[in-house]
Amino acid sequence: MDTSEDILQQASPDLVRGSETARPAKAARLSPTFISWLQAGPMMLVFLAFFLIPLVFVVIVSFWDYNEYQLLPAFSGRGYTDTFEGCIAQLPDLCTIAKTYLKTLKFCLLVWAITLFIGFWVAYFLAFHIKSKTWQMGLSLLCTIPFWTSNVIRMIAWIPLLGRNGLVNSGLIKTGLINQPVEWLLFSEFSVVLALVHLFTFFMVVPIFNSMVRIDKSLIEAAYDAGATGFQTLVNVIIPLTKPGIVIGSIFVITIVMGDFITIGVMGGQQIAAAGKIIETRVNALQFPAAAANAVILLVITFMIITMMSRIVDIKKEL
């Protein structure tokens, strides 16, 4: 792994030589700071134009007023107050919005834990048990299979498997384990978690695998030589060194699940609301400020989770 200074040293002479106007004498005076800005600049501009500025607009619009068919650019907290309508009155019962967010968080936590467990062991297998690079690549690509289908196809595909008259139910009935079809296999929280895990385990596998491959094999040999058991090696060597991968994978999964409403909608039979779903219905009702307000709330919550995670592991330092 090169440090940034190494890269700079390699790159700056090239940069200077490559620029047709700059004369070598002048080039020597280009300060390193300027060069590093030059390198980071393009990405920063893209980030600014396509992420930060739209985000600022979302925050601004969330404080506008609205009616049936247009935005009214006047300061108003209506987008937020409508969202939490009746929440105080209903105490100690939770209002819909709070319930929805709790449900989303619950999915998030479950999916995160399951994908982490599965993803970790899949990555472990790929990194330490598959010796050839080709096989590693091939098997990693296999993990992308869930993405080869559209959501509609996916929804249709689960029905024959998990449905009332589906494969699983008829199999269970034939073996005599049950005599009535099990209803909770489809259009339930179970099926939502199943589909999310099926989709997003890949996002855990890749960064964790990436961290594991970079572990110096001599460290593992050293642990073995020092008399560590396999389990001790795992806990004291491998897990600490794959932490960055775990955190990056977790950030992927958590942000995607927090914002997901399509999979949750499809697999929950549209009966389970998610935080993203609230935004979608608001947009469909042309209530853009309310939608923006909900987007801001979701963003803040997701950001808080990510901040907590990066407190646990300092990614910048680890990378």
- Footprint on residues 193-252 left by another protein (CB under 8 A): none
In whole angstroms, the minimum distance from the beta carbon of 111 to another protein comes to: 19
In whole angstroms, the minimum distance from the beta carbon of 275 to another protein comes to: 10
In the three-class reduction of DSSP (H, G, I as helix; E, B as strand; rest coil), residue 220 is classed as helix
The amino acid sitting at 190 is: F
- Residue 195, token pair as written in the block: 């589909």
* 154 lines the binding site for another protein (CB under 8 A): no
Residue at token pair 């999310």: 196
* 258 lines the binding site for another protein (CB under 8 A): no
**Candidate segments 123-131, 220-228, 229-237, 279-287, binder of another protein by CB under 8 A:** 279-287
Phi-psi region of 187 (alpha: psi -120 to 50; beta: other; left: phi over 0): left
Among 61, 246, 273, 297, interactor with another protein by CB under 8 A: 273
Reported as half-sphere exposure (CB side, CA atoms, 13 A), residue 23 has a value of 2
Alpha-carbon distance of 247 to 208, in angstroms, equals 9
**Candidate segments 113-121, 123-131, 182-190, 197-205, binder of another protein by CB under 8 A:** 182-190
* 285 lines the binding site for another protein (CB under 8 A): yes
| Backbone Cα Rg of the chain | 25
* 41 lines the binding site for another protein (CB under 8 A): no
Q: Is the peptide bond before 92 cis (omega within 30 degrees of 0)?
A: yes
In whole angstroms, the minimum distance from the beta carbon of 271 to another protein comes to: 6
Among 187, 203, 209, 261, interactor with another protein by CB under 8 A: 187
The amino acid sitting at 155 is: M
* 24 lines the binding site for another protein (CB under 8 A): no
In whole angstroms, the minimum distance from the beta carbon of 29 to another protein comes to: 20
Kindly list the distances between the CA atom of residue 193 and the CA atoms of 15, 153, 234, 253, 264, in Å, as whole numbers in the listed order: 50, 18, 28, 12, 8
Alpha-carbon distance of 227 to 9, in angstroms, equals 43
Residue at token pair 């990693």: 140
In whole angstroms, the minimum distance from the beta carbon of 143 to another protein comes to: 28
> Which C-beta is closer to another protein: that of 43 or that of 141?
43
In whole angstroms, the minimum distance from the beta carbon of 122 to another protein comes to: 32
Among 2, 14, 148, 300, interactor with another protein by CB under 8 A: 14
> Which C-beta is closer to another protein: that of 111 or that of 291?
291
Alpha-carbon distance of 249 to 243, in angstroms, equals 10
32 burial type by CB count under 10 A (0-12 exposed, 13-18 middle, 19+ buried): exposed
Residue ranges binding another protein (CB under 8 A): 14-15, 17-18, 20, 68-70, 82, 85, 96, 99-100, 103, 152, 155-156, 159-160, 163-165, 183, 186-187, 265, 269-273, 277-278, 281, 283-287
